[in-house]
Amino acid sequence: MSGQDVIVKYTDEEQIAIPRLEYESRIYVDRLKPLWGVHVPRFYGFYLYDPKERCELSRACVILQYCGEPAVSDLLLLKDYRRDDLGVKRFRNDTMDIYFRLHSPEIELAHNALKASHILDFEGKPFLIDFADSGYHDCFAWEEGKQLTRDVLPAKEGEILRKMGSQSVKCYELWNFLRSVDYGLP
């Protein structure tokens, strides 16, 4: 880990927070490993201090790669965030691609609680964080042998999606995400 900036998620709340932190650690190891350091922070470990004396509190922490600060304060602002000279909404589009990849057969994960504060800007690239509420997700939006990406969505930022409704995406979480980043959906 030499030379790598990290963050430490720490808690001493035994009833809820420690099990949630342990669960999130398992998500990083079991589901997110292919995305470490590329789309989600690199995971360096879950550490638990369980005292022998019951008068002391248990403590736990997760050590993750530092991946910047929240990009926007509201998901709707993602539409124009870091728009380049050509008018391309690259940061938002890259974030959408990451979100689609979470739902892929490779990862099979629903974030279940995405907020603006969970999308970090690290040297111009989006990183997703906070997977404590995430869970296994066999996404209906994926068809056998077809990869779901932004490229398969109809042109003109959801013009056709707006007419077709949520059935055009087939996944409630993806549909809500596309609406929240103003992809032209109702």
Pairing between β-strand 119-122 and β-strand 69-70 as defined by DSSP bridges: antiparallel
Taking only the tens of pLDDT, the chain with its 186 residues reads 458 899 999 998 878 899 999 999 999 999 999 999 999 999 999 999 988 777 677 899 999 999 999 999 998 888 888 877 666 678 888 898 898 889 888 899 999 999 999 999 999 999 999 999 999 988 776 665 555 555 555 444 444 455 445 555 677 888 788 878 877 654
**26 CB neighbour count, 10 Å cutoff:** 12
User: How far out from the chain centre does Cα 92 lie?
Assistant: 13
DSSP 36-105: BTTTBPPEEEEEEE--SSTTSPPEEEEEEE---EES-SSGGGGGGTT--TT---HHHHHHHHHHHHHTST
* Residue closest to 28 by CA, chosen among 98, 107, 96: 107
pTM above 0.95, yes or no: no
Structure token digits, residue 39: 């789309």
* Whole-angstrom distance, CA of residue 12 vs CA of residue 56: 10
